[in-house]
Amino acid sequence: MTNTDHMVNGFDMATLGSLEPELRSLVSRRAALLGPAYKLFYEHPVQFVRASGVHLYDAEGREYLDAYNNVPSVGHCHPHVVEAVSKQIATLNTHTRYAYEPLLDYAERLLSTFPAAISNVMFTCSGSEAVDLAVRVARFYTRGTGVIVTNNAYHGTTTAAAELSPSLGSGVALGRDVWAIDLPLAKLAVGSDVGHELASSVRSAIADMERHGVTFAAFIADSLLSSDGIFPHPKGFLGPIAKAVRDAGGLYIADEVQPGFARTGEAMWGFERHGVEPDLAVLGKPMGNGMPIAAIVARPELLEEFGAVSRYFNTFGGNSVSIAAANAVLDVINDEGLLENSRLVGEKLRTTVEEIAAEREDIVAVRGVGLYVAADVVSPRDGEPDADLASRIVNQLRERRVLISAVGRAGNTLKIRPPLTFSRDHVAQFGEALDDVVSAIR
């Protein structure tokens, strides 16, 4: 087993016996029914029964502060989204094979947030399906097959997306035409400009694949490199990669599933922070605030021949209810100024974590943009990644009813990513809990 074979912050079934009887029976029933591939978060799994805004509630009515979930990014059960979905499901819910104007209204609205050259959108149900489609389009357009990813990337769960996802562990084979580039993690963690170094790795990977008889098609990366460890700085370091990709005749695919829809507080889309104009972008997670809707957006010339010879239909992708949810999400982002909120509250969140880290030697490299903050947990003895300590922090916070998780190649990066409606008061509450937890661990 490599260190990527077990899920970071996953519940270990070997500890089932330590759970209280009711939870133990629920967890073992779940394992019996769903099988071993499904993982639960936390050493002490949590059972939620409802949610509202930035809070989740367990069966006993206890409130948890959500500093982790980015899907309900405009807040759990936001009333405007709930109303839009409820009205729509009581009115009409069909697929995309009928002329339906709200679909077009939403498409126009969504596309207006992208560079003018990107003027087509295709809807899917999940980010994985969108990644799958984007890569299929790129391969068709370039007539190549080779794809470059980062070496702890996660792009999804379909066969094609899993083949692009080294973070899934050694049991999931990378595609034969997939090359993974190493990232200079230590430099990225402190925001050094590694753009040219990364572009050089991409050029070497392209040369290597061509030497193996594989024609280069595309580079794909999450514009925040989330599963690699969350690396937002400096702005622009993805730019030289995009140039290297274009110079080699490939396409740049921006995976915006994590950074998209205002998460970074600086721009609607993560690639904008890097001055990159992608050929294709993949959207998902927060798009429908929990309704299953995702998409690719593309320059139309990329879809022209592809569309002419390959029919595309996705039964649930872009259905009327999902479109109503997605439209309501854009309303809330605009009406509640969530881009600005993410920037301002995110800054406060980052400085709060920085202040706590400044007092200690085991929390380092605090970084973040908007409401996406990360810090590395290391051993004070030798500065090496300490995934166990990170896990203790995550689990102790859970016992304090504050939700975060951990991520990264070594599993030692704290991942703090609350809904975009997080307020300064929530940050204060979060900071107090984190401070208490790490002080008790010291």
Ligand X SMILES: Cc1ncc(COP(=O)(O)O)c(C=O)c1O
Q: Which residues bind ligand X (CB under 6 A)?
A: 126-128, 131, 154-157, 222, 226, 255, 257-258, 284-285, 294
The smaller minimum CB distance to ligand X, of residues 156 and 229, is found at 156
Burial readout 193-223 (b: 16 or more C-beta within 10 A, e: otherwise): ebbebbbebbbebbeebeeeebbbbbbbbbb
Least distance CB 221 / ligand X (angstroms): 9
The smaller minimum CB distance to ligand X, of residues 286 and 438, is found at 286
As a residue count, the chain comes to 442
Q: Looking at residue 102, what DSSP letter applies?
A: H
Task: Collect all residues with Cβ–Cβ distance below 8 Å to 430 and sequence separation of at least 6.
Answer: 65, 67, 349, 352, 402, 416, 418
Residue closest to ligand X when measured from CB atoms = 127
- Got the DSSP string for 34-83? H-TT---BSSS---EEEEEBTEEEETT--EEEESS--TTTT-BT-HHHHH
The smaller minimum CB distance to ligand X, of residues 123 and 248, is found at 123
Least distance CB 129 / ligand X (angstroms): 7
The smaller minimum CB distance to ligand X, of residues 283 and 321, is found at 283
Distance from the Cα of residue 326 to its chain's centroid: 17
- Got the DSSP string for 157-217? SSHHHHTT-GGG-TTSPPPTTEEEE---HHHHHTT---HHHHHHHHHHHHHHHHHTT--EE
The smaller minimum CB distance to ligand X, of residues 256 and 277, is found at 256
The smaller minimum CB distance to ligand X, of residues 126 and 396, is found at 126
Least distance CB 285 / ligand X (angstroms): 6
CA dihedral 220, 223, 229, 230 (to 10 degrees): -170
Least distance CB 294 / ligand X (angstroms): 6
Least distance CB 62 / ligand X (angstroms): 27
The smaller minimum CB distance to ligand X, of residues 164 and 328, is found at 164
The smaller minimum CB distance to ligand X, of residues 152 and 396, is found at 152
**The Cα angle at residue 304 between residues 249 and 213, in degrees rounded to 5:** 35
The smaller minimum CB distance to ligand X, of residues 226 and 319, is found at 226
Rounded Cα distance between 65 and 74, Å, is 15
Least distance CB 326 / ligand X (angstroms): 14
The smaller minimum CB distance to ligand X, of residues 406 and 438, is found at 406
Q: Which amino acid belongs to residue 123?
A: F
Residue 265 half-sphere exposure toward CB, CA atoms < 13 A:
24
Least distance CB 154 / ligand X (angstroms): 5
Least distance CB 242 / ligand X (angstroms): 17
The smaller minimum CB distance to ligand X, of residues 93 and 157, is found at 157
Rounded Cα distance between 125 and 314, Å, is 8
**In which order are the strands placed within the sheet that holds 55-58?**
48-52, 55-58, 63-66, 402-403
Least distance CB 125 / ligand X (angstroms): 8
Least distance CB 229 / ligand X (angstroms): 13
Ramachandran region, residue 414 (left: φ > 0; alpha: ψ -120 to 50; beta: rest): beta
Least distance CB 257 / ligand X (angstroms): 4
